[in-house]
Amino acid sequence: MTSDLDRHVELAAQAHQQLLADLDRLIIDVAAPSRLPGWTKGHVLAHLVNSGDGHASIFDAAARGEIVAQYPHGPEGRSADIEAGASRPFAEQRDALRRSIWQLEGTWATSNWDGSGITPRGGVVALTELPFLRLREVAIHHIDLDIGHDFSDLADEYVRIELKRLEMTWAARQPMGMTPLPDAALALDPPLRLAWLTGRASIDGLEPAGVF
């Protein structure tokens, strides 16, 4: 693996363990609201399970020389699977997430990293990019669960890497001549800037970032 890929795998594994540690010390009401509009905590947990399973299926298919979608039944199937899992008891969801994490990390450990998969938006993505995408999912949705984990708790290295990526995405979506982040955004502490870029914080004087 390359050094960047090594670090992405390590950071994702750390994010997995931080999430599981919080879930092991808490009893969560899966029907309680999360920070995501329209989603309960159960929806977030179900999505994390399904996302991990989808990543693992991409690796399994790549080992057979195939390219498959993370969610083979499309957006409607993805939404239906989340709804089906959201109301499961917390202990079942926690155990399912632990199994999903172990399975995914096992595929990382044995993968030769050759091949591609298809993202939920239909794009083709290299296997080497998937650990960072998984890191993003776990880091941000851990916060979305609203169980005491916030942007200030994220690993500094992840925040630095993610800001570089999302700031480039934000700039690419702006009209010509408007590519730098606004001064008000640049003045924010990095974790808060990341919260704004991901649509998780409203900042006076700044329009929603719209990256996510």
Per-domain residue ranges for the chain? Answer: 3-149, 151-212
- Whether residue 205 is predicted with pLDDT greater than 80 in this model: the reply is yes
| Gap between the Cα atoms of 135 and 165, Å rounded | 13
- The two tokens of residue 119 are 């993202």
Alpha carbon 53 to its chain's center: 13
Q: What's the pLDDT tens digit per position in 11-70?
A: 999 999 999 999 999 999 999 999 999 999 999 999 999 999 999 999 999 999 999 999
For range 87-95, the mean pLDDT: 98
Distances (CA, A) of 122 to 62, 64, 149: 17, 21, 31
What mean pLDDT value characterizes the chain?
95
- The two tokens of residue 183 are 């001064």
The whole-number pLDDT of residue 1 equals 56
Q: Answer for the pair 200, 143: CB distance below 8 angstroms, yes or no.
A: yes
The crossing angle, in degrees rounded to 10, of helices 156-172 and 130-144 is 100
The whole-number pLDDT of residue 99 equals 99
| Gap between the Cα atoms of 150 and 93, Å rounded | 21
The whole-number pLDDT of residue 149 equals 98
Q: Global pTM? A: 0.95
Task: Dihedral sign for Cα 195, 196, 198, 200, please.
Answer: positive
Length of the chain in terms of residues written: 212
CATH code 1.20.120.450 for 3-149:
yes
| Gap between the Cα atoms of 183 and 132, Å rounded | 28
- Give kind and range of the element (H or E) at residue 109: helix 90-110
| Residues facing residue 126 across a β-bridge | 116
| Gap between the Cα atoms of 154 and 11, Å rounded | 10
- Whether residue 164 is predicted with pLDDT greater than 90 in this model: the reply is yes
What's the pLDDT band for 178 if we cut at 50, 70, 90?
Answer: low
Classified as helix, coil or strand, 83 is helix
